[in-house]
Amino acid sequence: MKRTFAVILAVLAAVALFAGLVHAVLVAAHVSEPAATTVYGLTLRRLWATTAFALALVGMVIGGLALRRSAGRIGAGNGRMWAIVALVAGLIAAVNGGLNLAIAKGGPGSGNGVIGGAAALVLGLIGMVIAGIILSRSRRTADTTAPLT
């Protein structure tokens, strides 16, 4: 019971932190004010932001799985390859999310995909940090297992 409650609290804290980071990115990009007229439906920029968000989410999940794999002793060699995949996916998603925010003319509801762009930027950066942790672990492990000459 205590563990379930702790997991629920951790998930809620993570969601709140993510929402706060997305809002901070929107404020920093000066697109936090809602649009005067709301655009409904899928626009090209919303599709672009959604694709970047999905790529960031995939990169973060791959990075999380690689982090779990690199934490154990079995299969640590494949963790490095998946970390590089997560790093590239996070970088592409963060750049696309940032570009989407840079060319946006309005805030949420304007059809520019600013929420998806901000979310892609945040998740892409998180995925890149996770991949960096894995790569530093794998480099440290490779240094300690190298034969001395």
Residue 114 near residue 49, CB atoms below 8 Å: yes
For residue range 110-149, what is the model confidence (pLDDT) as tens digits?
Answer: 888 899 999 999 999 999 999 998 888 877 665 555 565 5
Domain count, the chain: 1
Q: What is the 3-state secondary structure (H, E, C) of 91-127?
A: HHHHHHHHHHHHHCCCCCCCCCCHHHHHHHHHHHHHH
Can you say whether residue 57 is alpha, beta or left, with left for phi > 0 and alpha for psi between -120 and 50 degrees?
Answer: alpha
Q: What is the token pair recorded at 7?
A: 């997991």
For residue range 22-52, what is the model confidence (pLDDT) as tens digits?
Answer: 889 888 888 888 888 888 888 899 999 999 9
- Residue 135, helix vs strand vs coil: helix
Note down the domain range covering 130.
2-145
